[in-house]
């Protein structure tokens, strides 16, 4: 029997019948212990709840038969902050289309492939090594009708930002409302081998640009969407995804500047992002004590980020800091 891996290698209406299909590993081999539960929706049922408990390296795979075009919504409530869930497409044991540790405790979208999707519940490695436990509950909704307002496609006439980018045979269509201080961005991929489901994200601010690149030169492109917050600060943020092995999208995480003391010193927003040679560039003015928002006097600071695999998904690490 093929051993399942709880952590992805790259950073993807009445009666409910829950069938426990399999439970492997004895207590002596708990590090690899997992179980599978098949969720079957009876006629007329659109949602169900599941709950359980995991410890250490144990994990649970909730298997959900899905037809192409159905919309899904999953809400996860963990009793341990180190517990998360991933969503894996049909036929995959380690390529996730949603990674909870970087994207949160809620997944919603339209699924484009027939087959069995897997909702995998697990503890992060750091907590698993400490043999921690976690109780949790999952609420899963599945519908044949149009997706809910939170996930439906953005209307074309409302998209103040619209751009299509392509690299290495993978295409990304980016649309955004850009209306007010809180907006939405939708990224619709095409050309991926397993899952081309649209991704919709709420953003604090408006989209200022988007670029496609292959920073780590692995033959699978990434999409970078640049966001600037409302107000005089214009603080920059990033929505980014990588096409893992050209199969599905995994989120790219940009750490907060506060995690790097030298980079954050004198920072007051007005970021600019751009793709450079093999790195992502970010520059902003540096403020000294007493500077007004409109008149920084500390010059400019530029950060260069390298794309590296993270514990779950992908991570942009500061590779170089330059001031001028």
CATH label of the domain that carries residue 78 = 2.60.120.380
User: Is pLDDT above 50 for 93?
Assistant: yes
The number of distinct structural domains making up the chain is 2
| CB 220, CB 198: distance < 8 Å | no
Give the model's confidence band at 231: pLDDT under 50 very low, under 70 low, under 90 confident, else very high: confident
Q: Is residue 8 part of a domain?
A: no
Please indicate, yes or no, whether residues 186 and 314 belong to a single structural domain of this protein: yes
Please indicate, yes or no, whether residues 92 and 137 belong to a single structural domain of this protein: yes
E runs forming strands in 69-181: 71-78, 83-88, 98-99, 106-110, 115-123, 133-143, 161-167, 170-176
SS3 call for 2: coil
pLDDT for position 35: 82
140 burial via Cβ count (<10 Å: 0-12, 13-18, 19+): buried
* pLDDT tens-digit map of 61-78: 999 888 888 888 898 999
Give the model's confidence band at 8: pLDDT under 50 very low, under 70 low, under 90 confident, else very high: low
User: How far is the C-alpha of 12 from the C-alpha of 86, rounded, in Å?
Assistant: 8
Domain that holds residue 161: 156-323
Structure tokens at 257: 């500047």
What's the Cα-to-Cα distance from 25 to each of 22, 35, 119, rounded to whole Å?
Answer: 10, 9, 20
pLDDT for position 232: 76
pTM: 0.56
Please indicate, yes or no, whether residues 129 and 217 belong to a single structural domain of this protein: no
pLDDT for position 159: 42
pLDDT for position 222: 96
**Residue of 303, 298, 251 whose CA lies nearest to 274:** 303
Please indicate, yes or no, whether residues 241 and 136 belong to a single structural domain of this protein: no
Q: Is residue 178 part of a domain?
A: yes
Q: What is the mean pLDDT of the chain?
A: 82
Q: Is residue 9 part of a domain?
A: no
Of 16 and 231, the one with more pLDDT: 231
Please indicate, yes or no, whether residues 177 and 254 belong to a single structural domain of this protein: yes
Please indicate, yes or no, whether residues 55 and 161 belong to a single structural domain of this protein: no
Q: Is residue 72 part of a domain?
A: yes
pLDDT for position 14: 34
Which of 115, 143, 171 is the last residue in one of the domains?
A: 143
Q: Is residue 225 part of a domain?
A: yes
pLDDT for position 12: 36
Please indicate, yes or no, whether residues 229 and 278 belong to a single structural domain of this protein: yes
Which of 91, 114, 143 is the last residue in one of the domains?
A: 143
Which of 143, 177, 202 is the last residue in one of the domains?
A: 143
Please indicate, yes or no, whether residues 319 and 179 belong to a single structural domain of this protein: yes
pLDDT for position 166: 92
Average pLDDT over residues 144-166: 57
Contacts of 111 (CB under 8 A, 6+ apart): 66, 68, 69, 70, 71, 72, 117, 195, 197
Please indicate, yes or no, whether residues 58 and 187 belong to a single structural domain of this protein: no
Contacts of 284 (CB under 8 A, 6+ apart): 236, 267, 269, 270, 271, 272, 300, 301
Q: Is residue 132 part of a domain?
A: yes
Of 93 and 306, the one with more pLDDT: 306
Q: Is residue 4 part of a domain?
A: no
Q: Is residue 137 part of a domain?
A: yes
Please indicate, yes or no, whether residues 279 and 139 belong to a single structural domain of this protein: no
């Amino acid at each position: 029997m093929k051993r399942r891996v709880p952590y992805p290698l790259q950073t993807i209406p009445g009666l409910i019948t829950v069938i426990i299909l399999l439970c492997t590993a004895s207590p002596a081999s708990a590090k690899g212990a997992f179980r599978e539960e098949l969720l079957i929706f009876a006629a007329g049922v659109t949602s169900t709840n599941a709950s359980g408990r995991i410890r250490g390296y144990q994990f649970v795979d909730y298997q959900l038969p899905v037809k192409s075009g159905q919309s899904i919504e999953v809400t996860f409530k963990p009793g341990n902050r180190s517990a998360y869930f991933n969503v894996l497409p049909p036929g995959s044991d380690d390529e996730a289309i949603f990674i909870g540790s970087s994207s949160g405790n809620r997944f919603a979208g339209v699924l484009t492939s027939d087959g069995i999707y897997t909702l995998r519940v697990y503890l992060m490695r750091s907590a698993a090594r400490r043999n921690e436990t976690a109780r949790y509950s999952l609420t899963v909704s599945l519908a044949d009708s149009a997706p809910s307002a939170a996930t439906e496609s953005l209307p074309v006439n409302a998209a103040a930002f619209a751009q299509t980018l392509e690299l290495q045979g993978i295409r990304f269509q980016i649309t955004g409302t850009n209306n007010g201080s809180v907006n939405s961005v939708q990224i619709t991929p095409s050309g991926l081998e397993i899952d081309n489901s649209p991704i919709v994200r709420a953003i604090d601010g408006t989209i200022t640009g988007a670029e496609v690149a292959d920073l780590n030169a692995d033959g699978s492109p990434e999409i970078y969407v640049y966001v600037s917050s409302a107000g005089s600060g214009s603080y920059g943020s990033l929505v980014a995804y990588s096409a893992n092995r050209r199969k599905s999208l995994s989120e790219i995480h940009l750490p907060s500047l506060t995690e790097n003391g030298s980079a954050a010193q004198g920072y007051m927003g007005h970021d600019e992002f751009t793709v450079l040679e093999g790195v992502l560039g970010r520059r902003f003015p540096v403020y000294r004590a007493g500077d007004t928002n409109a008149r920084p006097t500390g010059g400019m600071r530029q950060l260069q980020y390298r794309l590296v695999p993270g514990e779950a998904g992908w991570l942009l690490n500061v590779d170089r800091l330059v001031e001028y």
